[in-house]
């Protein structure tokens, strides 16, 4: 009887561990240790996430589309500033959509992985700019989000130095928007 209860307890614990494994992740078991490792898609499948700026409307704009970079620089007056990281053009295991939103009243682009109604109030959803990690895995780095309410502009960066400099220029650190692969 004691053996049956022990065996039943072991079986239930094993089922509980297996059901807790997130989709898209593997589990490797060694004696007395259980770990989960993310499945990492090769970085060669990622594309640059470009950062552009329009001084006339004080707006930072991000896109993974080279054609869109060409359009907004020639037609809308944006200037290409840099590549802020790498994103996946299609969803791969462990990634989440990076949604692009725009507020036409304040001329502000906003990027988020969650479409929470209280967060996106006043913004129109414009689609998905790519897929990023929701946490630090596969070599991804934090993509910091800052907002300047005086000029109604959001800026995103992977650079701690740039984040801190923006904070000194009236941008308020709002947190980590997600995790992108480094572009250098």
- Residue that has been written with the tokens 């939103």 in this structure: 101
Q: What Rg do the C-alpha atoms of the chain give, in angstroms?
A: 21
Name the residue among 169, 171, 167 with its Cα closest to residue 152.
171
**Which residues does 46 contact at the CB level (< 8 Å), separation at least 6?**
86, 87, 88, 181
Query: Tell me, what's the pLDDT at 20?
Result: 34
DSSP code at position 77 = -
DSSP code at position 179 = E
Q: Give the span between the Cα atoms of 30 and 36, in whole angstroms.
A: 11
The list of the chain residues with pLDDT below 70 reads: 1-37
Query: Tell me, what's the pLDDT at 118?
Result: 79
Quick one: residue 46, left, alpha or beta (phi over 0 = left, psi -120 to 50 = alpha)? Answer: beta
pLDDT in tens, 109-158: 999 999 988 778 899 999 999 999 999 999 999 999 999 999 999 999 99
**Tally of helices (H runs) and strands (E runs) in the chain:** 3, 11
Q: Give the span between the Cα atoms of 141 and 163, in whole angstroms.
A: 13
């Amino acid at each position: 009887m004691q053996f049956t209860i022990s065996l039943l307890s072991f079986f239930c614990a094993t089922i509980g561990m297996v059901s807790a494994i997130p989709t898209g992740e593997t589990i490797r078991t060694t004696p007395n240790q259980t770990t989960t490792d993310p499945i990492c898609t090769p970085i060669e499948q990622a594309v640059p996430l470009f950062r552009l700026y329009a001084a006339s409307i004080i707006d930072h704009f991000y896109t993974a589309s080279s054609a869109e970079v060409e359009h907004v620089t020639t037609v809308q007056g944006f200037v290409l500033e840099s590549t802020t990281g790498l994103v996946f053009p299609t969803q791969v295991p462990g990634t989440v959509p990076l949604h692009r939103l725009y507020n036409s009243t304040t001329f502000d682009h906003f990027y988020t992985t969650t479409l929470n109604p209280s967060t996106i109030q006043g913004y129109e959803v414009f689609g998905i700019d790519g897929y990023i990690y929701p946490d630090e895995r596969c070599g991804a780095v934090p993509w910091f989000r800052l907002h300047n309410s005086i000029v109604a502009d959001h800026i995103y960066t992977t650079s701690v130095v740039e984040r801190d400099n923006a904070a000194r220029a009236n941008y308020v650190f709002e947190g980590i928007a997600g995790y992108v692969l480094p572009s250098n």
